[in-house]
Amino acid sequence: MASDTTMLNSSTGARYLARILLIDDNRIDSEFLSELLGTFGCRVDVSSSGYDAVGKLDRHYDLVFLDINMPEISGLEIANGLRNFNKSGHYTPIVLVSSEEFSSAIEEKCMQLGVEGYIQKPARKEEIEEVLKTHLTAHEIKMFSYNKQNNNSRGFIRLYRKSA
């Protein structure tokens, strides 16, 4: 089944018609990231707790942004649940988000859980665009691109890809 996610690039910037699940208990951080994703045309569902996020696992999302430090259920446990309990049957890339500086311990956890990326808060627009460009154009997408410029983000710390 093909995704309805489409990337349109116009004079106002890239637009991704994608459904995003944002899991973050911090209201200010989630509003900021949700608005930032909205500038790219994304539809964003926000979960403020791990339990709320678990209740949404049966829905299809094109991408998940997940805060590591969540109360009740840690973001790492949620990531593990997303990988092992995905009712939609669609592989969904996960990008961890945290105020913690990237470290070898976080890198190891990312690799163990099979997550695709990590962004340190506060996220910048260029970082979010790089994540969207990388993950939404790599998975079952019709792509219409009119602007061939490559704007790599210097701020994106690491990007992991699952090997086939």
Q: Mark 13-39 as b/e (b = at least 16 C-beta within 10 Å).
A: ebbbbbbbbbbbbeeebbeebbebbee
88-108 mean pLDDT: 85
Check residues 47 and 143 and name the one with the higher pLDDT. 47
pLDDT bin (cut points 50, 70, 90) of residue 87 is low
Encode the chain in three state secondary structure: CCCCCEEEEECCEEEECCEEEEECCCHHHHHHHHHHHHCCCCEEEEECCHHHHHCCCCCCCCEEEEECCCCCCCHHHHHHHHHHCCCCCCCCCEEEEECCCCCHHHHHHHHHHCCCEEEECCCCHHHHHHHHHHHHCCCCCEEECCCCCCCCCCCCCEECCCCC
Lowest mean pLDDT among 28-32, 52-56, 63-67: 52-56
The model's pTM: 0.75
Q: Where are the chain's structural domains?
A: 9-138
- ω into residue 93 within 30 of 0, thus cis? no
The confidence score (pLDDT) of residue 106 equals 85
59-73 mean pLDDT: 89
Which tokens hold the place of 28?
């200010």
Check residues 1 and 43 and name the one with the higher pLDDT. 43
- Classify domain 9-138 at the CATH class level: alpha beta
Gyration radius (Cα) of the chain, Å: 15
